[in-house]
Amino acid sequence: MITLLLVPRLQVKLIDAHYPGGLGSYIKDKLHHVMCELPAAENYFWRG
């Protein structure tokens, strides 16, 4: 899935090897941050 987002394969391997909980935790944590913690005015994905 993450390769569909054009993340280089080496970067995916580094995240998986070094982020606590691996790639799945990284994706979950980053989505939580964007959707729950980042103010809407600063969230690129909610801008019109």
In a domain, 35, yes or no: yes
- Structural domains counted in the chain: 1
The pair phi, psi for residue 25, each rounded to 5°, is -65, -35
What is the dihedral sign for C-alpha 11, 17, 23, 27?
Answer: negative
In a domain, 21, yes or no: yes
Q: Which band of pLDDT confidence, cut at 50, 70 and 90, is reported for residue 44? A: confident
In a domain, 1, yes or no: no
In a domain, 2, yes or no: no
Q: Which domain holds residue 16?
A: 11-42
Kind and range of the H or E element at 31?
helix 22-32
The better pLDDT of the pair 31, 19 is held by: 19
**Three-state DSSP class for 20?**
coil
In a domain, 36, yes or no: yes
Contact 37, 43 (CB under 8 A): no
Percent with pLDDT over 70 in the chain:
83
